[in-house]
Amino acid sequence: MNLSIRCIFWLMFFLPFNVQAVDHWQASSGIKHTAVLELFTSEGCGLCPPAEKWLYQQQRAKLDYIVLGFHVDYLNDKKGWVDVFAKPVFSERQKQLARLNRYQTIYTPEFVLSGESLPNWRENLNEAVSFLNEFDAQAQIHLSAHLIENKLMVESQSLVTGEENRRHSHLYIAITENDVKSVVHGGDNAGQTFNHQNLVREWLGPIELDATGETFIEQQIKLAPEWQQDKLKLVALIQNLSDGYILQAVELPLTQQK
């Protein structure tokens, strides 16, 4: 990387967070660790609604974490209800994390915090997030995005520290949506109406990073007509796939300016 490009790269990390223009957005990660909470859930799971409700009632003002709500598809043929938000790739993500945690089984609801399973989430979530937020981030991410018709053009610039991290880390990109209404007509939750938050719509990765630790990546994501753009967020995270630890993450709301 030549000197001019390097200067531009580092300058972006000193820009204000969440700087936005009309149909153009950008954000940079902080110097401390932003935790990532991955919730694996299903509309057919009777235990999932209380878990989701509890999570979304938590006060996050003093905590720094990003929520990714993955709807898994392996319950679709077992619970009498097909979750239309479930995708095989989301179930594969849960299986991947189980392998990294050396677990033999997967289940719902499951909470995974920055790569590590968190079985006693009611008692431990806030304390665990607060603990992780004290650590310096082992990567930095700058995200920018703009719309061309129904396509989101995404640019990601990242810097990964440490030789082991550079050798084993990959980038993941997600699109999430808030306030997604759904009426369930069968299974354990028949008759209930959900208002899903942080619902993962798209999951891309693992994307290889440059061995030097500095990487520029461009991605194109087609936005489905039924997605509410003002409710969408773009998320990027970098994970070490040797030990499972998520080095850093950043979240970018795609809110239209008035």
Q: How far apart are CA 115 and CA 60, in angstroms?
A: 20
> Out of 7-11, 56-60, 86-90, which region has the weakest mean confidence (pLDDT)?
7-11
Q: How far apart are CA 145 and CA 148, in angstroms?
A: 10
Instruction: State percent of the chain over pLDDT 90.
Output: 84
Contact 155, 220 (CB under 8 A): no
Average pLDDT over residues 44-58: 93
Amino acid identity at 87: K
Q: How far apart are CA 71 and CA 47, in angstroms?
A: 14
pLDDT band at 214 (very low <50, low <70, confident <90, very high): very high
Q: Please determine, for residue 2, whether its predicted confidence score (pLDDT) is greater than 60.
A: no
The DSSP call for residue 58 is S
Average pLDDT over residues 4-24: 51
> pTM for the full model?
0.90
Q: What is the pLDDT of residue 60?
A: 75
List pLDDT tens digits, range 153-180: 999 999 999 999 999 999 999 999 999 9
List pLDDT tens digits, range 222-236: 999 999 999 999 999
Count of all residues that appear for the chain in the document: 258
Token pair 């153009």 is found at 24
Q: Please determine, for residue 15, whether its predicted confidence score (pLDDT) is greater than 50.
A: no
What is the dihedral angle through the alpha carbons of 176, 16, 215, 174, rounded to the nearest 10 degrees?
0
Q: Please determine, for residue 19, whether its predicted confidence score (pLDDT) is greater than 70.
A: no
SS3 (DSSP) at 188? helix
Contact 86, 71 (CB under 8 A): yes
> Out of 101-105, 168-172, 239-243, which region has the weakest mean confidence (pLDDT)?
101-105
> What is the rounded average pLDDT for all residues in the chain?
91
CA atoms within 13 A on the CB side of 70: 27
Token pair 């300016």 is found at 257
Token pair 């990714």 is found at 68
What is the dihedral angle through the alpha carbons of 152, 97, 113, 44, rounded to the nearest 10 degrees?
80
Q: How far apart are CA 25 and CA 254, in angstroms?
A: 7
List pLDDT tens digits, range 60-87: 778 999 999 999 999 998 888 999 999 9
Amino acid identity at 169: S
Average pLDDT over residues 32-50: 97
Q: How many CB atoms lie within 10 A of CB 16?
A: 8
Q: What is the pLDDT of residue 257?
A: 56
Contact 239, 247 (CB under 8 A): yes
Contact 46, 188 (CB under 8 A): yes
Q: How far apart are CA 60 and CA 234, in angstroms?
A: 19
List pLDDT tens digits, range 105-123: 999 999 999 999 999 999 9
SS3 (DSSP) at 86? coil
pLDDT band at 17 (very low <50, low <70, confident <90, very high): very low
Token pair 């945690």 is found at 101
> Out of 53-67, 96-110, 142-156, 190-204, which region has the weakest mean confidence (pLDDT)?
53-67
Q: How far apart are CA 210 and CA 241, in angstroms?
A: 15
Pairing of strands 35-41, 110-113: antiparallel
